[in-house]
Structures are given as structure tokens and as C-alpha cells.
Amino acid sequence: MKKILLTFIGNNDCLLSQGKEGAILSILQLREFDALYILYNDTHYLQHASEILLYCRHKYPQLTVRYQEAESINPIDYNIVYPAMIRAITEIQKEEGIKDVEYTISLTSGTPTMHSCWVLIAQGGIIPARLIQVSREQGISEIDFKLDDFPKLENTKAIKIQLTQSSRENKLLKQQLNLGCDELLGEHESISQVKQQIANLVKYEIPVFISGESGTGKEVVAKLLHYHSPRKEQPFIAVNCGSISPSLFESEFFGHKKGSFTGAIADHEGYFSQANGGTLFLDEIGDLPLPMQVKLLRVLESGSIMPVGGKAKTVKVNIISASNKDLKALVQKEEFREDLFYRLVQYEIDLIPLRARGTDIILLVRHFLKSYAAQYRTDKRFSPAAEKKLLNFSFPGNVRQLQNLVKLAFINSMESVIQADDLMLPSETDNNCSIEIPTEGIDLDNVIIPAYYNAALKKAKGNAAEAARLLGLKPHTFRARIRNNTNGNNIDERE
């Protein structure tokens, strides 16, 4: 008898990256299943479902994990949620059948509306299933309805017409609202074009290159391409190419075997193996040094990797790359291999800077405000003067900078209306300092930049994370660059 667990993914299941196991993993710790179907009502949950999948691959290798779409624009509207769940169950039963299968439904994850619909579905005989719930205090408890006065659900066929109508309405609403690209907010023509490109590209296996300034949402687009594709049930692995040390490139990308070099105390799966069957997102590909480009190109051409100290292994990975640099210009300067360029840039998606998107700024501001209001349980809004001030700002850090500024303003404001003075906008003249270049020129890479790195380390008393903050870099990026530009001594690796 094949044992299958059906469950929605809820917000309490999205904290695995923080070391917190939600209801789904709690159930798997207490009861064995052969298959797990994770239902999702919104595609933003797929990233967290992927984390659960990777966790289960290591902890429960015998368990098959699948995702099942049950999208609904309003997770508390019965007329939308119920038909979506019926469609999801129908797809699962087509895949698994009903003979020699024991279904168990978890009522812990998801909204109360979803829980109620699960009861209707199970008690109405639409799917023969056991109902359970899990809690920290009581563990798993079975749910039954043996009370004499509990009403029986009968004649489910009588509501089929209504369900069909609701299903059609739900599909129409989904098409009208372009459900599934909610993570890419905006009404600007360029954003609409990007959404259309995504909808078209997910049908094909093709390397996609995403260009745009830092903070424009390149990783968001990469995740949308992955989680709307047939590969969505496979891993999405993101790599910052600017943070990879040349000496560790092969180990990080291709993996290594235990004992293959000093410090290799266990087998390690490289990024290609981790992403096998799914998507490998190479962020800031323009920062990858030429020697590493040669090794990457060899793998892309052969589809085979060679772990350090191991044997050749075939991998099937879809590549999405991104950069805030002009790769064509780098090719002309011979800083980026032309053959690798044509391997990676078979289709390009360009993200324009936020300052060129007009009133999308206000749309994003209100979205972030709504998110923080829910997080901190306090409703706030921007005054017209504050919104005007934001519209007139250039946002060199784009959407990422806007989100940070909105959060700071939310915290800084003591009232329910955020005023223009609450906005902590950096001066746009701060960067216009006077710099004189001597006639004989300067050595930027070997003298100037290392000098700034060392000055930051000195001011931070050797703390690499603090030095990275002073320079506006991520800690892992700073550590990689300091090792490449200096001898790396006197670095405190504390976060």
C-alpha cells in the first residue's frame, strides 16, 4: 500500500532557511510516507517548497516529493479555493490512482478556508483520506467525525454545476490578473514585456541571460523562469560568480571527493550536481575570471563534470545567467570569452532601472508598505509629499534600495502617515566628489582598489563583514576579492 501525504505549504513551512522546521517536516519526522504532494496557492511558495524538497532528498531519500498547483487569487474565498483544490486532487489521482493508495491529508498548513475545504472533500467522499493535524505539544493527532450529531455530507453531485462555474471563473480571473508573476510588480510597459517573455520562455529549454543594474530584480526573474517551467519540482541553485575564489572554483562548481585535497574531510556536491535536473543561476557572470570561464565552457559543451578526485559525471542543468555589466563590451576588451558569451546569451531579458519606470515606484512603495504593515501589525501610508519625494529620487540601487528606504521610513515614522521628512534619502550629490587623475595615470586594480580594501579592514579592525559593510559589498564578495587582491592575512572571518 503506497502511503501519500497531501498538504498545502503554509507560512510556517517557509522558515527552513532560518533553521525552523514547519508542520510538513514535523509530520515527516513522526510518520513515514512514500510520497509527499505539496499544494501551493501562490508561486512565491515554490522557492520554500524547493527547500523542503532538498531537505527531504538528504533526510528521507526514499520519499518522492512533488508540487501540485492549486492557485487561487484569494486564499480565503471558498468559491475560488474549493474548485482549485478539486482540480489539484483530480491531477494527483490521475498520477497516483486510488487503488493500493492510502491518502493522508494534513489540516495544519494553509488557511482556515483550506482546512474547511479539506474536510468537505474528505467527508464528501471526493477522495478517501485520513485527516491529521500536528502540534508541538501533542504530535500527530487523527481527526474523525464520530459524533452522533455531526451532519453527513451527501449528494455531492448536486453542486457539480456550481463548482464547474466557479472553476471557469477562477481560470478567467487568473488570466486577467496574470497570476503567477506577482513577484514582478509593475505596470510599466517594459515590465509587461518581461512578463510576456517569461510566459513564452518557460516552455523551452534555452539559456537565458538577464541584464540590468544591481537591484533591478534579476534573481526574481530567474526564479520566475524556473518555477513556472517543467523544472519547477527540481532545485533552483543561485551562485554569485563574483564571490568564487579561483582556487576553489572546481570544488564549488563540480564538487570533490573525500580526501582529494587538504581539508576535504567529506564528499561535497558542487553546484552543478545540486542543480541537476533543475536550474543553475549564475549571477554576476561578468565577474567570472577568464581561467574559470574556460572550465565553465567545457562543462556547458560536454554536459559532463569532473569532481575533484572523482570520476566524470553527466548532468542536465538549465543555465540562467545575469550581470550588471555589458558582456558584449567585455568580449570586445577580451575580458569575457566570445564562445562562452554565445553559449550563455541565446536569449536576453533586459530590466530597465527603477528611475525609468515612472509611477511603478509608488506601486512598489505601497506593496512594501502592505508587507511591513502585516509583519509589524501597524497600518501606515505615505503622504502625497513623501510619495512625490520618492518619485523625484533616482534610486541608484533600484528596487532593492527602494525596499530598504520604505522599511526605514516605516520604522522612523511615529505616526500612521509617513511624511517626507521621515524618508532617509541619501544625498544625490554625495558621490560627486572631486577626483584628479595624475598625468602618469594610476594602477586601479593593483594599487587603488587594494588600498581601499586594506583601509576598510584597518578601520574594521580586521573584521571582514564590517569592512564589507563600509564598502557597500556583501561579506562573501568582499572576502573573495580581498583574497584575489591581497595576501588575505589579518582577516577576521566573523559575521
Domain 354-422 grouped into CATH 1.20.1090.10: no
CA distance 453 to 442: 17
pLDDT in tens, 321-375: 999 999 999 999 999 999 999 999 999 999 999 999 999 999 999 999 988 988 8
The predicted pLDDT at position 425 comes to: 87
Tell me which of 3.40.50.300, 3.40.50.12240, 3.30.530.20, 1.10.260.40 is the CATH number of domain 192-351. Answer: 3.40.50.300
Residue 473 has which C-alpha cell?
559589498
The predicted pLDDT at position 240 comes to: 93
CA distance 418 to 423: 8
The predicted pLDDT at position 243 comes to: 85
The predicted pLDDT at position 435 comes to: 62
The predicted pLDDT at position 220 comes to: 93
The predicted pLDDT at position 274 comes to: 93
Q: Where are the domains of the chain?
A: 2-172, 192-351, 354-422, 444-485
pTM: 0.66
Please count the helices (runs of H) and the strands (runs of E) in the chain: 18, 15
In CATH terms, are 192-351 and 354-422 the same topology? no
Which residue's C-alpha cell is 494553509? Answer: 110
DSSP string, 63-92: -EEEEEE---S-TT-HHHHHHHHHHHHHHH
The predicted pLDDT at position 223 comes to: 92
Measured CA to CA in angstroms, residue 477 lies from 35, 174, 240, 493 at distances of 39, 40, 8, 13
Q: Please provide residue 486's backbone torsions phi and psi, each rounded to the nearest 5 degrees.
A: -135, -175
Which parts of the chain sit beneath pLDDT 70? 98, 146-182, 428-436, 439, 484-495
The architecture of the domain spanning 2-172 is 3-Layer(aba) Sandwich (3.40)
Residues 6+ apart with CB under 8 A from 30: 134, 139, 140
Residues 6+ apart with CB under 8 A from 50: 235, 236
